[in-house]
Structure 1
Amino acid sequence: MSMPRKAMQELGFQACCLRCDAPDESGVARCSPCIQHHRNIREVLASAPPDDPLYQLAKEIMAMAAEPHRYDHDEVHGRALIEQQRLAGALVGERVQPSADDIEALFEQQRAKRQQNALQDIANQNPWKDQPLPAEQAQEMAKKTWELEGEENEHYGARTVPSKPIQKVDRSERSGEDTTLTDRIHASAAAQAKSNLDETATEIFEELEFKERQSRREELKSAMKEVKELVDDDLEF
């Protein structure tokens, strides 16, 4: 058993390192051809047709191996994924529990650190943001604001009377929320959050996340349709 190499983690095949019998040392000669072999596998999966059931199964298994904690409830592969997590945990070692002094020091460090706010510190160029405006200047500014050439602005607060009739907007062609685009955006955000994956792996995980969201949405639509049919049946006399 070896510590997963960084390249294998980026490819999503760190499970192979956990089950490898090579010595856990840096610069092992066996690692380079192994990494290249798995990189070729990734390229084959990336260029495979998306509707091929065999390649789809391979992508799903790769996703499970890359993130076993998300799929260890699987009825078929759950035990293997739990074993993979156990092997990874054995390499980490025992974690040292922080003491009360360490926690207190961390809080003090966070209190002393001032976080810069882009809106308040950079964009806000108001000269009175740190201290209020003097009363005399505030009164003078109020007079200039509410008066127009020595007279009060009589149009302030008045209702706008349009010179032309406003036509009603036709909204019949508006479909509402684009659920496909929404799921695609959320899937892309979830894939981009995985910083340990390369570009190809990110695309694969994004596609899997998108299909999962679409599947859940279809299940919800089906359930809502059944509820609507039940309600409609109850209302019929």
Structure 2
Amino acid sequence: MMRSAPGIRLCLALFLIFSTLSIPSESAVSSIDLGSEWMKVAVVNLRPGQTPISIAINEMSKRKSPALVAFHGGNRFVGEEAAGIVARYPDKVYSLVRDMIGKSYKHAKDLANSLYLPYDFVEDTRGAAGIRVDDGVTVYTAEELLAMILGYGMSLAESHARVPVKDAVIAVPPYFGQAERRGVLQAAHLAGINVLSLINEHAGAALQYGFDKDFSNESRHVILYDMGSSSTYAALVYFSAYNTKEIGKTKSVNQFL
């Protein structure tokens, strides 16, 4: 049983996806491990002289950033800035945005009430939840709020890579259905992000686990266990290898199911 570092597992997944695409070597691609309360951002940068795979740090020199957005006094705060005012204005700082994506108004409201979150919900024409912010007039959908958080993550990637970053791989929980995944893609589109792939969190963890191991002589079952702030899940993964010919030589290639 193992629990993997989320930033690294996304880096590896991103690196493999990046290597199969025709993307200029001076470009960089981001990966976002999106949790309900926290997020991590990684960057693959193939420019000469740069570290190929690295974790982007935020403005507080932290590798993990709050997945928060806040509105106060006509200003918007995201990430660490939002976390800085949550103690004084808890009703103006919005968390668990990821968990409201693709859900009904009732689900989002029940979720917030169960955690005593004092949000002013409004039901939109889709039957989904919008949140009325501190001016008492403006209502944002969950997709719009998530777009602000994803945009913050991409700004961290650009600051780290020192080049424009528009492409990203985003990790989502394995239990996300089509409605939730469409919501994440819509939020990314609103943020101006080109999503190369949505990847299940446990798939990224499995990739990281088997990346530098040799299963040619022994197959193995591994339980991957992930406990987050709002959910916990486990995945049973089978690692093995198969032989293939490459330039006239036999090569062992790892695989997992």
TM-score range relative to shorter protein: under 0.3
- Which structure features the higher share of helix residues? 1
Which structure: greater strand fraction?
A: 2
> What TM-score results when the alignment is normalised by the length of structure 1?
0.20
Kindly name which structure, 1 or 2, has the bigger radius of gyration based on alpha carbons. Answer: 1
